[in-house]
Amino acid sequence: PPRGAFKCATFGEVSPKLPCGTTSIVAKQTMESARGTSKHSSSTNGDIPMVGKDQLAHLGDEITCLMWASAFTIAVGQYVTQVITVKGDPPFDVPHFEYVTGALAMEVTFNHAQEKRVNAWLLERCLTEDEQGPWRKYINNDSPVPLKTKNEDDLNRANFLAFSQHLQYKITGKLAFVSDYQGKLYSVSTIVRSTDDGF
């Protein structure tokens, strides 16, 4: 399956259709290294999906992060709308962003000895290139500086997202902002937070 730094993805279909009208989904799981662990046979190499409580804990964090990031993005949109209402339209197009809605799916099975096994996935709507354009990354999670691009529309989006980070930091009283912006509809987010005035 396709992989990122910490998760793998499997593509599938659901029935009935999602509210957006599609049946295509992506099921994601967090990965761990099989090397040097007693949980896996010595013949297992590379990374494998986490299982049970470990998978649930990581995916729970992912979904919590996704919910906060989505709320922050909505707050930025509301702020921009308020400013436009008072001051009028800006001399540039304001991009619209939203996060892909995620859901936690669980499978509970029992083996012949009635030992319970829990498996979990983060389910998201599958975004297609026809619908959203090519995948792109705007801001990485290791720097607040937008990534360089030659495409002017992508540069405008990246600059807007950098502005949104500053606004989120201000709105939250210098406690948090969203990082790791990619795609048109986001499917990955990282919340950077601080418990004091600095990082």
Q: What does pLDDT average to in each consecutive run of 10 residues of the chain (199 residues)?
A: 76 87 89 65 67 90 89 92 95 85 89 89 86 81 84 90 93 86 54 49
pTM of the model: 0.75
Q: What number of CA atoms fall less than 13 Å from residue 17's CA on the CB side?
A: 4
Taking CA atoms, 19 is separated from 3, 24, 96, 103, in Å, by 27, 12, 20, 13
pLDDT for residue 37: 54
pLDDT for residue 163: 93
Taking CA atoms, 17 is separated from 26, 137, 148, 185, in Å, by 14, 29, 37, 19
Q: Please confirm whether the linkage preceding 16 is cis (ω < 30° from 0).
A: yes
- Please name the residues in contact with 70: beta carbons below 8 A apart, sequence gap of 6 or more: 98, 99, 101
pLDDT for residue 35: 62
pLDDT for residue 179: 79
